[in-house]
Structure 1
Amino acid sequence: MPPKNEAEQPDISGSMPKSQRTKMSKSSDDNEKKSLAKKLKDAEICVPIVYGNVAFWLGKKASEYQSHKWTVYVRGATNEDLGVVIKRAVFQLHSSFNNPTRIVDSPPFELSESGWGEFEIAITLHFHSDVTDKPLHLYHHLKLYPEDEAGPLSTKKPVVVESYDEIVFSEPSEAFFARVQNHPAVIVPRLPAGFTLPPVPVEDIENRKRGDTKDHPLNQCFTSFSEADELLKLAAARQQVQAHIARLRRQLSLIDGQHQHMKAASDM
């Protein structure tokens, strides 16, 4: 929250990355639009996104009502430009901020502020007209303080909280598919052999990297959500489970041996 008199104490929330999959349903007037844009039947386009915040403690510069500087954002899961799909992002901040409704009309979709308190930020994504006219509502709890409340605050180690989501668009228009078919931020299905898509406007091709966050100042803080990292996590978790099973089997074997020994002793 901004430097104003607020009585609430910071609400500490979890910082583990959360994953989900959001399927965008059709709007009520999609049938009317079918005559204006050809749809690809039984096809889906998936757009992986990450939304969250990075917060830095101000250290000696911190005051009672201005202790942190933070940035909230929506980015591509691999830091690619999302402007090819998202037209606008609206961030709804706490009512104590001046102009709490912040509109970002171009990538990167982010905003930075300073304050002292934690609160929920509503994020509304609006898409290009050939994608869908239905907005997507996301909710992120701004986090400023580390999980270990007793630990010292650091100006060098930021607090990072991110959530992963996959936005799925069913039966996309041919124009939408053509625009994103070779875009690294978008997952598209394979088209049938011989299927021809409409040409992509030159300006769309030139603007594909304008919102990249690969060289973003906060890039080193971002969480990696790559498939390779997920496979490594799954492999590590599997090893832990197998090790736990082995320990339980040894304990059961030991207990069974003790039971057999006691039974033999009682039969004597």
Structure 2
Amino acid sequence: MEDSHVERFSASTPKPRVGIDGGDDNKNWRRRVNGVEVSVPIVCGSIAFFRGKKAKEYRTHNWTVYVRGATNEDLGAVIRKVIFHLHPSFKSPTRVVDSPPFTLSECGWGEFKIDITIFFHADACERKLELSHLLKLNPEIYSGPQSPNVPVVTESYNEIVFPDPFECFLSRVINHPAVHVPKLPEGFNLPPPGDAGDESYYKMKKGDTKDHPLSHWFSKFSEADELFKLTATRQKVQADIAELKRQLVMVDVQPEQF
């Protein structure tokens, strides 16, 4: 069972903004590349397996929550750590994952909202990004007893945008498969990667989710597909509005009955 939606975080929308205040731009390695916008597609999601009828009352499901690349690439080039804030009933509900893949597995019985705090490498952005994910354990539509072999998958596609990125960050990620970088201004030359950027990236363990044990359950996302879904939804809303207006006009023109 799957549920998904798309959301884009950008400085042009009233969403959390990233990359807008990185520190002292006077340092050479902190110079910004104006007019360039770097985007990083990510997926926040969870997968929950029913443990069967013999499971203990408060341990009915095994579940995993995660922040992954939309195409399962390593997000460690951009993200330094992720904090998952679980329900207060869990022992040590604040869980820190400081290396990719950014996943967390637990066992429980209830559905709840998981707040997610994403921290970026300093040369990307010194601000953090706050997201949330609703952990779903049960299918939206009941179709018989829940199978332990078929999980409930809930995912949302998001796009983090870094406007006017720092040169050092751009030089690190310009060829990274998880990062979308547009064409640079003609004649512009980036400094060599690693000259002065965030050294924490080079010390970090690398890891993607392509071979993750749950990867075959992941939804497949693409920007084109998401734009198509948004267009179809917008057209349906417009059609519903037009139909409602037509019905209101018909009500207005009907003669009053005494």
Instruction: Confirm whether residue 99 of structure 1 aligns to residue 92 of structure 2.
Output: yes
- Residues 101, 209 of structure 2: 8 Å contact kept: yes
When normalised by structure 2's length, the TM-score is: 0.79
Q: Which residue of 1 aligns with 2:26?
A: 35
Q: Are 1:212 and 2:216 matched, yes or no?
A: no
Change (3 A) 1:21 1:40: same
Compare the two structures and name the one with the higher helix fraction. 1
Q: Which among 48, 57, 63 is matched to residue 64 of structure 1?
A: 57
Per-residue CA distance 1:193-227 (angstroms, 9 max, x = gap): 32211112399998899221111111110000024
Pair 1:147-2:134 in alignment: no
Instruction: Tell me the CA shift for residue 112 of structure 1.
Output: 0.2
1:191–1:150 Cα change, 3 Å: closer
Alignment check: 8 A CA contact 2:48 2:61 kept = yes
How many residue pairs were aligned? 225
Unaligned regions of 5+ residues in structure 2, if any? 11-16, 237-258
Unaligned runs of 5+ in 1: 1-13, 242-268
> Following TM superposition, by how much is the alpha carbon of 1:84 offset from its aligned partner in structure 2, in angstroms?
0.2
Mapped to 1, the partners of 2:143 and 2:230 lie a distance apart of 31
User: Does 2:128 align with 1:135?
Assistant: yes
Residue 181 of structure 1, CA deviation = 0.4
Distance 1:87 1:197 in 2: 23
* Equivalence for 1:8: none
CA deviations on 1:1-60 (whole Å, 9 max, x unpaired) are: xxxxxxxxxxxxx953111111225566x4x51112110011110000000100000014
Once the two structures are TM-superposed, the CA of residue 79 in structure 1 deviates from its matched residue by 0.3
RMSD: 3.0
Q: How does 1:181-192 map to 2 (within 5 A)?
A: 181-192=174-185
Q: Which amino acid aligns with 1:196?
A: N
Structure of higher CA gyration radius: 1
* 2:256 match: none
Q: In terms of mean alpha carbon deviation, does 57-66 or 116-125 score higher?
A: 57-66
The residue type equivalent to 1:217 in the other structure is P
Asked if the contact 1:81–1:209 (Cα under 8 Å) also holds between the matched residues in 2, the reply is no
1:51-109 CA deviation, whole Å, 9 max, x = no partner? 01000000144121110000000000000000000001000000000000000000001
